[in-house]
Amino acid sequence: MIHVVIWLIIFAIYYFYHVYKASVEEKEAEEEQFFHDLMNDEQNKEDDISIAELVLTTLRKIGCTPETEKRNSLNYAYFTYQGEKFTIESNDKCFFITIYDTWWHSISIYSDVEDIANLHKTINMVNQYVNCTLVYTTNKEIEEIGVHSKRTVLFVKEIPEIDKYLLCILNDFFKAQRLAMTELEKCKVIENKIKKNMRKKVYIIGMIVLVLIVIAEGFVIYNLYAFIKKEENMYAHYEKEYIKRLSDELKLERKGLRHDTRGGDFCPACDSKDVAEIRYGLYDSKNDVWKEEIESGKVVLGGCMVGEDSKRFYCNDCGYKWGALELNEAQ
């Protein structure tokens, strides 16, 4: 029983395979015969209407009012469909027609480089997904870059329901337009997003730079304030020393010692005997005698500059200086 069922299944598969194969071969034979009759039937060619007349008849069927123009062997039909202006180019010696939809989108030739690049990118992308071909041209007179669509199709009277066939082709042009405009809008959104992010980055960088400038200004102001404070303290110190000096001289003047010409045995201000000689000139670090005198407090350095106020002696206890210094002594 099982063997019989298996043989029946095998027979059914074999039968349906040959039936399907025969139907496919018959269909291919019909299509081949159709194109053969279409291209080679010279006897019925005289009775056929021309391609240009077929185009005009079909356009009238879909509710269009075409305008015609003939250039050499080419026939042109201009018509408007759903608000869009189309052109059909035909030749009575050819069974194919070319449909054009021109200048349905344009941009200025002075547009940004990004806009022109986005247009090129969009055209290349749309041409991969639609039946018609998108191209662009540049018109320097009106200073614009225009986008156009075109498609070449078979157009003969043997095509069934040829008016619906033409409508489907025309609708493909609108699909291409919608796809292109959608892609351009996407590019614009992406570009705006990039610009927005760039503005954020510039804002953040600007804020960082502003903070750094404020910090730098604060640092400069702080250093300037410290310098001024230091100068004020130095000035106050010099002023204090000057006042102390005047006070000491006033005391000496009251004691009658302002023009004291005595030597350095003791300090005229505090009577201290810890007195050192003020030595002027360049200090010689290799001079052992100087070094011993300075370390013992017998000599203090007065610097290289000698003036009218330069003194001869220095008190190690109160810091008072006195004694007129002669020019030859300074030398």
- For the stretch 11-47, what's the b/e string if a residue is b when 16 or more beta carbons lie within 10 angstroms of its beta carbon? eeeeeeeeeeeeeeeeeeeeeeeeeeeeeeeeeeeee
The residue assigned the tokens 């000698």 is: 306
Share of the chain above pLDDT 90, in %: 39
Q: Which of 308, 298, 315, 314 is nearest to 330 (CA)?
A: 308
Dump pLDDT digits (tens) for 44-81.
Answer: 544 568 899 999 999 999 999 999 999 988 999 999 99
Query: How far, in Å, CA of 96 to CA of 197, rounded?
Result: 51
Dump pLDDT digits (tens) for 132-187.
Answer: 999 999 999 999 999 999 999 999 999 999 999 999 999 999 999 999 999 999 98
Least confident of 27-41, 84-98, 105-119: 27-41
Contact status, residue 294 vs residue 308, Cβ threshold 8 Å? no
**pLDDT attached to residue 46:** 42
**In this model, does residue 108 exceed pLDDT 90?**
yes
**pLDDT attached to residue 132:** 93
At 270 the three-state DSSP class reads: coil
Residue 280 pairs in a beta bridge with: 303
Query: What torsion do the CA atoms of 176, 179, 184, 188 make, to the nearest 10 degrees?
Result: 170
pLDDT range class, residue 326, cuts 50, 70, 90: low
**In this model, does residue 8 exceed pLDDT 80?**
no
What letter represents residue 162's amino acid?
I
pLDDT range class, residue 43, cuts 50, 70, 90: very low
**pLDDT attached to residue 329:** 46
Taking the alpha carbons of 263, 266, 268, 274 in that order, is the dihedral positive or negative?
A: positive
pLDDT range class, residue 321, cuts 50, 70, 90: confident
Helix-strand-coil split of the chain, %, nearest 5: 50, 20, 25
pTM of the model: 0.50
Dump pLDDT digits (tens) for 258-304.
Answer: 444 556 778 877 778 888 888 887 776 677 777 777 777 778 887 77
Query: How far, in Å, CA of 79 to CA of 67, rounded?
Result: 6
